Amino acid sequence: MRETVEIMRYPVTLTPAPEGGYMVSFVDIPEALTQGEPVAEALEAAKEALLPAFD
């Protein structure tokens, strides 16, 4: 039996935060906001911020 996995992509906006690091927001999901430093951590936090938006 084959299993189909659907991959969805959501563009993010990284904005430098005044106190350092980056604010992360999604155009399509405005309630999913997060932050992180460096960029890799900010993007990982972005993945986690999406989960509650789909509950």
At 7-52, the pLDDT tens digits run 888 999 999 999 999 999 999 999 999 999 999 999 999 999 998 8
- Preceding amide of 38 cis, omega within 30: yes
* Residue 5 lies inside a defined structural domain of this protein: no
What is the tally of structural domains in the chain?
1
* Residue 33 lies inside a defined structural domain of this protein: yes
Residue 5: what pLDDT?
A: 85
Q: Note the pTM of the prediction, 2 decimals.
A: 0.78
* Residue 2 lies inside a defined structural domain of this protein: no
Q: Which of 21, 22, 26 is nearest to 50 (CA)?
A: 26
Q: Which domain holds residue 28?
A: 12-54
Residue 39: what pLDDT?
A: 97
* Residue 40 lies inside a defined structural domain of this protein: yes
- pLDDT for residue 55 is more than 80: no
